[in-house]
Chain A
Amino acid sequence: MTGIGSGPERPSRRFIDARRAVAPAISKTLEIGLGVLIVALLTTTLYGSVVPGYRTAAGVELADQSLANAIAATERAVPPEAQSATATVHVELPATIRGATYEIQAAGDALELVHPHPKIGRRVRLAIPHRVVSVTGTWRSTETFQVSAQATGSDVSITIGGVNA
């Protein structure tokens, strides 16, 4: 088979080889280019908008949850009417939201979550009785959340802050 075919086969193969010499190179380059483009597009879409969007969405949910727990703890700390009473409540809250530490600040009769990301953070009013005359303090997320309530006569003052765990 090879003995017979080797003679006349050679010119025709050389002819074919010469004709398609450029085609595979272009095709491969095109393929690689398209492949790189697809991967680049996918990476850009994922890491440019989809993943940060999800991180923010998860951060907003976590911030809501964290603030809700802080509010529940603050409302729970209000002691019943007494001549003198002190109550302290500790809650473990997430140390970071979306990879960054944050703060919960007391503002009037509300608690406000402050986060470096512009979309995360909220101010929520507390459902506390009128006996509570002041809510003060700032808590940094690196510490354990602590609420102290001090009742003197009919007045209750609440301080939020952290204790190093």
Chain B
Amino acid sequence: MHSSLPAAQQSRSRPDATNRAQASLPAFAIAVLVVTSTATLAILVADGAFGAADREPLERTHASGLADAMVADTSPMTIRANVVNETSVSALDTELETWFPSASGLDFAVTLGGTLVAERGDPTGGTTVRRLVLVAEPHTRTLEPALTSSDQAVTLPRRASSVNVTLAPPAGTTVSTVRVNDRVVLHDPIGLSGTYAVPLSRFETTSIDFNASGPLPQGSVRLTYRPVATEKAVLEVTVDG
């Protein structure tokens, strides 16, 4: 007992002595690891939050500003507010910088009803603003009625804002009065002849009444009018700032 005790004590305390000096080192290493990884994780989370908060407000402002300017009442593309003229739309690609100077220098695209009408740069992704519009396409229509009796009315099948009335009555027949919806628009007791532009109301169906001394065969009255065909479409403005 007496001889084995110091030996046992020594064998027990020597590893103790070498270990105890570094006893807190693993704990310290773990602490450093925990602090570093927590900081790294926090930075990653903050990075993610910043990435998710990227909203491109200027891109949206550009897109909505351009879209609003295009469908506005005073826009060179529209007939009235939210009704775009199809012929002006086809000219948009060439006239873009003149009509909308704020668009220059941006990567953007304009589509109407899914068809690309103007593009600058190479917009990939970006912000898209949509506006529901009417696309107006004016057609020229000609009507040559044959008026068998001396007082007969012709109804225009489509509404238009004006009509050109060309009168070439046969010899011996005079047209003295032309009425639109019972209002006298043209009158000459000697006889009307030639082409007259008659403004019409877009808001009512037009009936044109001819007061002639005799029947007017086909060809003696020609009515040329421009009805506007409209269809709904979506105007898309994509801006990639």
Contacts and interface: CB of A to CB of B under 8 A. Distances in A.
A80 B68 CA distance: 13
Interface of B: 1-2, 5-6, 9-10, 13-14, 17, 20-22, 24-25, 28, 32, 35-36, 39, 43, 46, 50, 53-58, 60-62, 64-66, 68-69, 72-75, 100-105
A131 interface: yes
Q: Is the interface of A mostly helix, strand, loop or mixed?
A: helix
A72 to B, nearest CB: 6
Contacts of A163: none
B24 A72 contact: no
Contacts of A19: 17
Contact of A61 (B36, B55, B64, B68): B55
Contacts of B103: 127
Contacts of B101: 109, 125
A8 B6 contact: yes
Contacts of A127: 62, 65-66, 68-69, 100, 102-103
Given A109-B102, A131-B74, A35 B28 contact: yes
Given A12-B10, A72-B65, A5 B5 contact: yes
Contact of A65 (B1, B20, B57): B57
B103 to A, nearest CB: 8
Contacts of B64: 72
13 contacts: A12-B9, A27-B25, A65-B57, A68-B61, A75-B65, A81-B74, A109-B101, A126-B65, A127-B62, A127-B65, A127-B69, A129-B74, A131-B74
A72 B68 CA distance: 11
Contacts of A12: 6, 9-10, 13
A68 B58 contact: yes
Given A16-B13, A58-B50, A27 B21 contact: yes
A57 interface: yes
A72 B61 contact: yes
Interface string A32-47: 0011001000100110
A36 B94 CA distance: 67
Interface string A1-39: 000110011001100100110011001000100110010
Contacts of A77: none
B28 A75 contact: no
A54 B61 contact: no
